[in-house]
Each structure stands twice: as structure tokens, then as C-alpha cells.
Amino acid sequence: MGDSFIPDSARTLLDGAEPADLVVGLLTVDDKATAPGIARVLAEGCARSFPQRRTLVVNCDAGSQDETPQHIEQALGAGTRFWGIRHPVRGTSFNVLSESGVPGREAAVHILAAIAGQLNATACLVVDGNMKSVDASWPQLLIDPILDKGIDCVLPWFQRNCYEGTLTNTLLAPLTRALYGKRIPYHLGGTYAFSGNMIRSTLLRQPWDEEMAQYGFDGWVTTLAVAEQLQICRAMLGPRMQQVKPMGELSTIVAQAVGCAFHLMERYQEKWESVTGSIVVPTVGTPMKLGAEIGSINVERMVNGFRQGLRDLLPVWQIILPTETFQQVLELGVEDMDGFRFSSGLWVQVVYDFALAYHDRLLHREHLLKALTPLYLGYTASFVIETRSQGVEQVELELARLSEQFETMKPYLVQRWRWHDE
């Protein structure tokens, strides 16, 4: 594969560069308030945990206007090997930032993978520059499994509160578990660690194209980790705190995240069709449960969003959903707020039918994906109504049951997916 994606500044640094054992990549854009401290903590953590390893800190910056790279270099000081690289940000049809708020992460990680590959690094750690919860234990948790246990990819597992990350918990994670048979936290982003083996055998062989930029890096790399023949684990990193940055509207975020999962289902069809059951992925770090703070959830607004979909999207849903499923969705519109119940079985059916419609190209794919948003709001509202008075344990129990239902109903998806291919 060519290296035309590598900026000239990186090429210059690579020419005649000394090898590095560990490449620590920091992805930034206007992160002066957080990134310098993160860089210092990571460099110190690597020095303390892996004193015999040669470490290189690389800042991949997406065009900061606040001199973030200069502040990172100052924070590290002369004793740390540091490269600053500015990389381009490609546009996407969805025009949305990832949950991390750092644009162009796929381009930045591509550059980091190439650098790690050319320097023959054993491991590459990637961290978003707005992650305020980084501490000195992260290098040990994320890199040591690669160095000590032969792990290829370490995925982050952050502690979240009851109803935080509902798109992940009620759709992306259980779908990924059912498809690929691995129980993992889905793409929360923020940080990853890759082995040199994964970089050379897998990452650098991928089609780093516009579709990845369109759908986002997190879902792509998470699916890659579970679908390819890689050794993976998850690292418990505590609460996930980050500098808040602008995000797109909900329908765009749903389209980006779910579109990534559906898109890669086509690529990995031969792998997921035969998978039955699921296994727990090994974990490092201190075990965590969901946080107890429920937060401010506006159930009425979510139900109203679902009902707005009933008014605006019925012709679209009628194309996507089988008659029986469509009728069950229609019946939800007559329920009052207290009695509103969107069953988990119906939700799994809806998700699988949207995946089938995406595969069969029944509609323009972006329009189809955005049409899922009101249904997601309806199911989330119902989930909150059913569990909010019963505490954290009930939320965890219901999420476990939902994941099992995705697995139980998978034969429906496999059978109809094959019909569409015939």
C-alpha cells in the first residue's frame, strides 16, 4: 500500500529516525486546556511502567488554532522524544464529529499506524486530547497486556451511569455481541492500544477510504477487533470525562454509528453468519458496575419524538418493516405515557429489519438510517420507564436480557439475509 496519506512533516521525521518500542499518539484539535497535561501524564506513566522501552510521543493535530502542539511540546520538555504532525481532515457526507469531538481521527490513526510500523514499534497507544480522566495508570493498563500477554488490541471500558450511552447499550453492543460472539464495550472511543502485529498484519492492510471517514473510526476499529483473528481484551479505565465539544444532531449520530455496524456486516458476512453464542472478553483493571446517578432523562420528549416519527415516517417504516412488525409499531402510538411499552423483542426485530433493508438497499441508505432515530427514542423511553424506579441492578439485568434476545433472534437475521443474497 502506498503512503501518500502521510504528511510531508511526518515523512521528514521518519527519514533516518531511530526505532521506537512504544508510540504514544495524542489526537487533538484546539485542546490546549487538556492535551499538554495528558501528554505529560502518559509519558511519565510509560517511563515508570516500561523504563527499558524507547517511547515516542506523537501529536497528530487536526488544525488547532490555539497552539495546542506547541503547548504539548513545552509540557513534555526536552527529556521526552516528541513529534508534532498536522494532518488533513476529510469531509464526510454525514458531516459529524465522533463522540470524542476530535475530527479526522481515522486519518490521524492511519498516520500513527504507519509511523509505528516503520519504526518497528511493539505497541501503539492512541488517546484523544480532550480526555480529562487520563491518569498515570493508563499506560500500564493499556500497553502491558500487549507486552506481557500477547494481546493485539486493548479496547476501553469506561464506567457510565445508568442511562448514559443508551445507543451503545441498547443497540451497538448487543448487536456486536450477537454478530461476532464477543461481549465487549462498544465504541466509546477515547483511547485504544494496538500491537505491532495488529498494525502490520491488519490495520495497514485495511481500505482507509472515504467510507471509514463517513462512518467514523470507533465503530470500525471495534468491529475489526472482534471480526479479525486478533487477541483482544478490555481495560477498565474508570469514569469517562472529556472536554465537551459540539456534536451533530441525534439522527446524524445514529446514522453514523449504526451505519458503520451495518456496513461492516456486509464485509464480514461469512464470519458472523456462523457465530452462535458469545464469550466474555478478558479484562484488566478494577471491575466496575454502572454508576448509580440516573441523571436528567426527559422521557416525555423521547416519546414525543417517537410519535413525531409516526406522523412523518410511516411510509418509510412501511417499506422497511414487515407487516406484522409495522402493525406492532403503529399500536404503540395509542399508548399513554405511563403505559408506553416498547418491548425488547420488538426492538430487536426492528434493528434486524433495518439491517436487512440496508443490505437490500430498499431506500437511500442515509435516509434509512436516520429513520431509525424515532424508533430508538421510543425504545429508550420505554426502557427508562420500566427500570427507573428499580435501581442500577435492574438496569444491568435488563441490558443483559436484551443482549441475550439479540442472540436468540439472530437466526431470523441470518435466514433473511441469505434470502436477500439469492
pLDDT tens digits for range 82-116: 999 998 776 543 444 455 567 778 889 999 999 99
Map the chain to HEC letters.
CCCCCCCHHHHHHHCCCCCCCEEEEEEECCCCCCHHHHHHHHHHHHHHHCCCCCEEEEEEECCCCCCHHHHHHHHHCCCCCEEEEECCCCCCCCCCCCCCCCCCHHHHHHHHHHHHHHCCCCEEEEEECCECCCCCCHHHHHHHHHHHHCCCEEEEEEECECCCCHHHHHHHHHHHHHHHCEECCCCCCCEEEEEHHHHHHCHHHCCCCHHHHHHCHHHHHHHHHHHCCCCEEEEEEEECCECCCCCCCHHHHHHHHHHHHHHHHHHCHHHHCCCCCCEECCEECCCCCCECCCCCCCHHHHHHHHHHHHHHCHHHHHHHCCHHHHHHHHHHCCCCCCCCCCCHHHHHHHHHHHHHHHHCCCCCHHHHHHCCHHHHHHHHHHHHHHHCCCCHHHHHHHHHHHHHHHHHCHHHHHHHHHHHHC
pLDDT digit string, tens, across residues 134-179: 999 999 999 999 999 999 999 998 888 888 889 999 999 999 999 9
In angstroms, the Cα distances linking 392 to 289, 291, 395, 406 are 9, 7, 5, 21
pLDDT (0 to 100) of residue 58: 97
Q: Residue 365: its pLDDT value, please?
A: 93
Q: Are 192 and 154 in contact (CB under 8 A)?
A: yes
Average pLDDT, the chain: 89
CB contact at 8 A, 124 and 23:
yes
Note down pLDDT in tens along the chain; length 422 residues.
446 678 887 888 998 899 999 999 999 999 999 999 999 999 999 999 999 999 999 999 999 999 999 999 999 999 999 999 998 776 543 444 455 567 778 889 999 999 999 999 999 999 999 998 899 999 999 999 999 999 999 999 888 888 888 999 999 999 999 999 999 876 567 899 999 999 999 999 888 777 766 777 888 889 999 999 899 999 999 888 776 655 568 898 899 899 999 999 999 999 999 999 999 999 999 877 777 666 668 899 999 999 999 999 999 999 999 999 999 999 998 777 778 999 999 999 999 999 999 999 999 999 999 999 999 999 999 999 998 888 888 888 999 999 999 999 999 999 999 876 66
For the record, the C-alpha cell of 327 comes out as 402493525
Q: What's the order of all strands across the beta sheet hosting 191-195?
A: 82-86, 55-61, 22-28, 123-128, 191-195, 153-159, 232-239, 283-284
pLDDT score at 375:
98
Rounded Cα distance between 352 and 355, Å, is 5
